[in-house]
Structure 1
Amino acid sequence: MKTLKEKNQFIATILAFAVIPMSGLATDIYLPSMPSMAAELHKSEASIQLTLSIFLISYGITQFFAGSIVDSFGRYRVSMLSLALFVVSFIITATTKDIMVIYAMRVLQGILSGFAVVSKRAFFVDVYEGDKRKHYLSIMTIVWSVGPIIAPFIGGYLQKHFGWQSNFYVLAGYSLLLLLLEFIFSGETLKKRNPFHIDFLIKEYNSMFKTKDFFYGMLMCGLSYSIVMFFNLCGSFIIEHKMGYSEVVAGSVSLILGFAWMTGGFLGKALINKAFLPKIRYANFMQIILIILMFATSYFTSNIYSLVIFAFLIHVTAGFIFNNYFAYCIGRFPNSAGVAGGLTGGVAFIITSAISYGIVSVIKPEIQLQVAEGYFVLGILGLFILSMIKIRKAHI
């Protein structure tokens, strides 16, 4: 097995950072293209929205066991195989007209994203120690959030000039470039392989699910990210079809809302020393107040500016709650941080996919008022979970 050479460590680190945003790129780059995909493939909006939901479900499920697999088979081999299959799957997605084939490829891409991200997250733990490791892991979190921010902005221009297929050709080219550079400069970083024991994983997961504060924390992560994904599923259709704006504008709106999510994360870090539950409750309270204001405003004015302003502020609160609870859940089991992180991410993305797609399917948002209705459902669900945490004293 080819091992990482010390002289290539810096380049391999840059390549790891380049792989980390792949999940965000794969989910968000084609958001502005969803209306065009529906028109060209002669499918309903719900059929195209499902391509995003099934990606998130497979991505979430993969995180349950990906950590144990890369601990057993190595980071380099898993990463290389994932990148190679990315190239093939993205090309197939771009060239087919069969929605079922696209669904199959999206499931595969979700699985590959899970393995790629987990293997590169483990890379930093293998290669660096102490403060340097903390430094790179903190950068990794920021880099991961960059993908969903820039992807739809790029996708808007790709859609305008080249059509929806260009998004997947670009992803295939990006994956191929990373595959070649990984082959030249990277290598295996795992020093000791651990056997894959499914019984141990089940025992760990069972223990974690029974821990009340951790369980409710996972639910809050899923609900918070559902707010973002709910808008992702319906936003482009509203902006392009109902408001009459271009794909570039839809991509720019996603870019702005991506910054809202990041702003919430930075606020979470800035207020890290504040009492945990009170600040979460305050954020949820602000979220519901903003949603009620969005409701009221919708009866007097409803345009792209009012839609984006309210969505931005609501997404800031969602980002704040998610980042606080995600960090809490990972740190809840310091001796099993990898397993806890995989379980938290897996459950959160599955909840996100199911709830966001379910709300969009029921409400079928076409105007600002209906977007507010979807937000309201999620805000009230968050309030319910926080009330259960208080009633059951599910916090340490």
Structure 2
Amino acid sequence: MSTAAVTATAKIGRTPGTLRYALILGGLSAFAPLSIDMYLPALPRMADDLHSSAPTLQLTLTAFIVGLALGQLVAGPLSDSFGRRRPLLTGLALYAVASILCAVSPTAELLIAGRVVQALGAAAGIVIARACVRDLFSGTAMTRFFSMLMLVSGLAPILAPVAGGQVLRLVPWRGVFVVLTVFGVLLLTVAALALPETLPPERRHPAHLGSTLRGYAGLLRDRTFLGYSLSAGLMFAGLFAYISASSFVLQDVYGLSPQAYSLIFGANGLGIVIAGQVNGRIVGRVRERTLLTVGLTSSAAGGIGVLVAALADLPLGVLVVPLLVMVSSIGLVMPNASSLALSEHPHNAGAASALLGVMQFVVGALATPLVGIGGDVSAVPMGAVMAAFAVAALLVFTVLTRRRPA
């Protein structure tokens, strides 16, 4: 590790510095849940206002997820070449401008296009936040810091739908994107003033397309990296099935108001925060791989429970229990999967972080249309997709990260 990196690590080790970095990097990590969850309560209203269907409006989620994946593939290697700050600040500025375009979109098609651009900007924040953590930490310390980020970024799923529901009581759905614009500008200002460069010049690589592609190819040939990344991505797909369908299922099928739906969604987000903090306290005493196994197993059990409750047409009070179990498992899975996947790749942390994010969001994008195909008149399509991806995540993790015989 270079002198600059050692200095930064020492600085972040102190409590005030740790808190400052956790707030900034946690805010960057919160781009996805804020940009997705905050407008979920408005989806039914948006469909009416834009004279569009529920599946078409769900494509605004798919478009954002695809944009996040593509943006990370570009921003990750760029941050390995030019340092973390310049690509980050450029992405934050792009996010703010695109959020304004979303707020004024007159049609669903233009809104979908605006969401793609918005996601390209958000991707820089997400991928570079993970790369910064890898610049500064390794081993158990990195897992603990990722768990600390869950406290900040995990609050986003709690606050976003609640805030979105309250904004909808005051202004039309376009006001949600105005709030996201303010968030982007605020985070741009904070990052410009308070986030130093974490990748010193001697650790940067020249920006060449050939070397970038070879780096990605090497990561994809790494069986263990692929296992951790793909299992996290498959679990994210199950989570996105819930995110994209829950607004329609809980409000249209079970008759909840936007405010009641926001409270249930927020309770699941609180589960992520609690699980993440428990993980941060016990990691070191319990191996990361063991904690990841527990998280993936809990997710699979919760997904199957949601499907059973939906097939049996059980009351909402029964459905929300396995739903809470599955969503909360994110707090165990993501810190450990991220730390284990990035631990062996300190010299191309941006590219590794990008591929880790792509696995999550590309596979996650598959879940939204699958739920849409099943329709929005029952909870069965949501439960089936959630269960399938959660079980697949556990199987992929078990097979690909299993140690081979000597």
1:169-318 to structure 2, matched below 5 A, reads: 169-179=178-188, 191-192=200-201, 194-269=205-280, 270=282, 273-274=285-286, 280-281=292-293, 283-298=295-310, 302-318=314-330
Distance 1:36 1:12, change over 3 A: same
Residue 351 of structure 2 corresponds to 339
Distance in 2 (alpha carbons) for counterparts of 1:246 and 1:29: 15
Residue 34 of structure 1 corresponds to 43
Distance 1:291 1:352, change over 3 A: closer
Q: Where does structure 1 lack aligned partners over 5 or more consecutive residues?
A: 1-8
Deviation at 1:125, TM superposition (A): 7.4
Distance 1:162 1:394, change over 3 A: farther
Distance 1:47 1:326, change over 3 A: same
Are 1:97 and 2:106 counterparts?
Answer: yes
Residue 165 of structure 1 corresponds to 174
What SS class does the counterpart of residue 23 from structure 1 fall into? helix
What percent identity do the matched residue pairs reach?
22
Deviation at 1:215, TM superposition (A): 1.4
Q: Which amino acid aligns with 1:226?
A: A
Name the TM-score, length of structure 1 as normaliser.
0.82
Say which is worse superposed, 12-21 or 78-87, in terms of deviation. Answer: 12-21
Work out which of the residue numbers 41, 60, 64 in structure 2 matches 1:55: 64
1:36-81 deviation digits (Å, cap 9, x = unpaired): 1111111111111111112111112222231332344454443443
Distance 1:177 1:221, change over 3 A: closer
Q: Is contact 2:92-2:184 (8 Å) kept?
A: yes
Deviation at 1:110, TM superposition (A): 1.0
What SS class does the counterpart of residue 348 from structure 2 fall into? helix
Residue 3 of structure 1 corresponds to none
**Aligned Cα root-mean-square deviation (Å):** 3.5
1:218-270 deviation digits (Å, cap 9, x = unpaired): 21011111121111101011122222221111222221111223334344442
Q: Is contact 1:72-1:196 (8 Å) kept?
A: yes
Distance in 2 (alpha carbons) for counterparts of 1:137 and 1:310: 25
Name the TM-score, length of structure 2 as normaliser.
0.81
Distance in 1 (alpha carbons) for counterparts of 2:340 and 2:138: 20
Are 1:353 and 2:362 counterparts?
Answer: no
Q: Is contact 2:231-2:394 (8 Å) kept?
A: no
Work out which of the residue numbers 85, 92, 96 in structure 2 matches 1:83: 92
Q: Is contact 1:160-1:247 (8 Å) kept?
A: no
Q: Is contact 2:63-2:113 (8 Å) kept?
A: no
What SS class does the counterpart of residue 207 from structure 2 fall into? coil
Equivalent residue pairs, number: 385
Distance in 2 (alpha carbons) for counterparts of 1:271 and 1:130: 13
What SS class does the counterpart of residue 163 from structure 1 fall into? coil
Q: Which amino acid aligns with 1:382?
A: A
Distance 1:337 1:122, change over 3 A: closer
Q: Is contact 1:291-1:314 (8 Å) kept?
A: yes
Residue 327 of structure 1 corresponds to 339
What SS class does the counterpart of residue 364 from structure 1 fall into? coil
Deviation at 1:18, TM superposition (A): 4.3
Residue 143 of structure 1 corresponds to 152
Work out which of the residue numbers 374, 377, 381 in structure 2 matches 1:363: 374
Q: Is contact 1:212-1:394 (8 Å) kept?
A: no
Are 1:378 and 2:397 counterparts?
Answer: no
Q: Is contact 2:371-2:381 (8 Å) kept?
A: no
Q: Is contact 1:240-1:247 (8 Å) kept?
A: yes
Distance 1:182 1:260, change over 3 A: closer
Deviation at 1:290, TM superposition (A): 4.1
